[in-house]
Structure 1
Amino acid sequence: MAEFLDQYYTRTAYVPQEVLLPFEISEADALAKYLAGRRGQAVSVRVPTRGPRRELVEMAQRNAVLSLKRAAVEDLSLTRDEAALEELAEVLDLPARPWRIEAFDISNIHGKEATGSMVAFVGGRPRRDAYRRFRVRIAGKPDDYAMMEEVLRRRFSHGLRELQEAKAGGKFSEFPDLVLVDGGKGQLNVALKVLEELGLSGIEVAALAKRQEEIYRPGRKDPIRLPRDSEALKLLQHIRDEAHRFAVEYHRTLRRKESLMSLLDSVPGIGPARRNLLLKRFGSLEELKRASLEELLSIPGFPKSLALKLYKALHQEG
């Protein structure tokens, strides 16, 4: 304890008037003199046995135990992440641990409001500020392969452009060690094609098929199957599922917005300006339906006749 106190107060500029300890130490007098020299006036080193000071000591002990446990959990989590990345490098035959992994997923219903997502994991943990969303631009009803190709091409083309324009640190300029796509050999080949055409064939690629949790890698005829308790498999599943969640979330947002816009377009008298006002104020069809007639009447620029038309249209829906 004396050694800890000596080290602690050597590193800090502030020395208190009173130091409370949970138990007696033989060096108490020497410590008090040392601290008094640092403080410039007398310092008391005490072991309270009751009252508010004892309660303070006990609270400090509890906090120290909690901090120790929290640090142990964080160390264990870090060790697990490192083990998963090490195993992943081994089973996928990668040149090194894939420190940055980017996963891509597509979400659509019969090709409508198709969206793509990109999530990034760094050191085995999500890097949410690096997540990206893409609204698929291909016209008609493209297949999943074409949509995945578009999303991958846009992501890596943006990155190359940022690097060429010396915009290092841009939202796309940091490239992954491993690209993970949701699917089988077909999606794997799409990713390989895009990266090769863009001159990025050095980036490693893997595909994870959900049905049997099989991992596909270039140059391997058969998929890799890992035990269910494999830390590498758990990490890949977590990343794949996060990409899917992120894509579905964006897809639902777009569908809600599309539903609202379709309804508003059907109401005579609601042009672009009023439609944008409603979109900004309510955000979704569900929120607009919850609005009372009084709320609609209170919107600036909405005459009573138009508010009544809108209210009627909303409550004829579904």
Structure 2
Amino acid sequence: MAAVPLFSGANLGGSFWQRFVLWADALDPLLLLAPADEIRRTRLLLQNSGKTLSEPIQDDQMRKAFLLSLSSVHPDTDKIIPVLFRPPAFLPICLPLVIVSSLKLRAKATFFSQFVFHSYTTGFNLINGNGTTKAEEYSIQEKQIFYSLGAISYAACVGALPLVFMNRYTLKGPLTELVVRKLLPAPLLGLTSAFTVAVVRSPEFEHGIEVMDRNGKVVGVSRKAGEKAVKETALSRGVLFGTTFFLPNVLTHFAQRAKLAKTPHTLAVMRMLFIMSVLAGMLPASLSMFPQRGEIKREDLEPEILSSTEETVLFYNRGI
């Protein structure tokens, strides 16, 4: 478990808006430049201060330390997250992948772009999931890697399937183009993004995750808490990418009708700007949809946990 009780006290940032503002600051790409020694000093500073999220952080130095820790360190294992898979790296890496995936490519190119996109997001899901899953007789990591490869391949195939179907049966026309090129990509990407989260993090609801009381003391391992954590994260990821694909198409359509773009090149640039703006706004919003420090009622837990505590509400790390 983490040496610093980042998830003690109130939910991460309190209300949705407070969490949104906190994540907006924690997603600053400049935080990726911090060296490992500085991150370790930050953890030590937080540990010595005894600060928790139930207390407002007034000191500017403490706030910067907390943001660096939130963006760089896994709360369960207390290990520094690899740079490419830290939350601040998600937007810079995903943006070009989303833009390429949204282009009118052929089936093979669409499959490749979707494969690369889901490979990165699956790696992000794997590294930033709950780190307290326990199991015997085999390696959780090996199982997750095997599941990840299957989920990535399946998601990429689903993304390219409409184009394959359209080309195979020569179903070309304005209506088919509208459905396959503009209407289907958003829900498909949202569903496949949620699917990869559920598959990669399936050991969390198969074997359970640690649940704690409000003081951070572990009282048991719960499959129901793991299921709740994975469902919430999968939903937030589906909303993130579904909206990022859908809303720019709508905005581009109205910009085209209003004749704001005089040339196809200008329209393409506007569409990229729309994608960048929506993704930049939706990323902290999706991370803020559910509290990072998840809550689960005592009566919703397994009988063996009920008998070991009198707490009415228990807590767990939801992961991101």
> Same fold by TM-score, threshold 0.5 exceeded?
no
Structure 1 or 2: larger helix share? 2
User: What TM-score does the superposition give when structure 2 sets the normalisation length?
Assistant: 0.26
Structure 1 or 2: larger strand share? 1
User: What TM-score does the superposition give when structure 1 sets the normalisation length?
Assistant: 0.26
Higher relative contact order (CA 8 A, sep 6+): 2
Bigger Rg, which one: 1
